[in-house]
A = this chain, B = another copy of it.
Amino acid sequence: MSRTRVHNLFVSLDGFAAGEHVTFDEPIGGAERLFGQFDGRAIHGMQGVDAPFTVDRALTTLWGQGIGAEIMGRRKFGPQTGPWPDDDWQGWWGDEPPFRTPVFVLTHHHHEPIEFANGTSFHFVDGTPAEALRLAAEAAGGQDVRIGGGPSTVQQFLKAGLIDFLHLAIVPIALGRGTPLFGDLTGVESRFDIETVTSPSGVTHQLWNKKSGT
Given A197-B197, A197-B199, A200-B196, A62 and B58 touching (CB < 8 A)? yes
Report copies per complex.
2
Binds B, one of A49-57, A108-116, A152-160: A49-57
A117: CB under 8 A from chain B?
A: no
- Among residues of B, the one whose C-beta sits closest to the C-beta of A206 is B55
Query: What residue of chain B has the Cβ atom nearest to residue A212's Cβ?
Result: B52
Q: Chain A: how many interface residues by the 8 Å CB criterion? A: 28
A197 and B66: CB pair below 8 A?
A: no
A binding-site residues for B, Cβ under 8 Å: 1, 3, 5, 49-50, 52-55, 57-59, 61-62, 65-66, 165, 167, 193, 195-200, 205, 207, 209
- Enumerate 20 A-B pairs (CB-CB under 8 Å) in ascending A order: A1-B50, A3-B50, A49-B66, A52-B209, A53-B62, A53-B167, A53-B207, A54-B209, A55-B195, A55-B197, A55-B207, A58-B59, A58-B62, A61-B61, A61-B65, A195-B200, A196-B200, A197-B197, A197-B198, A197-B200
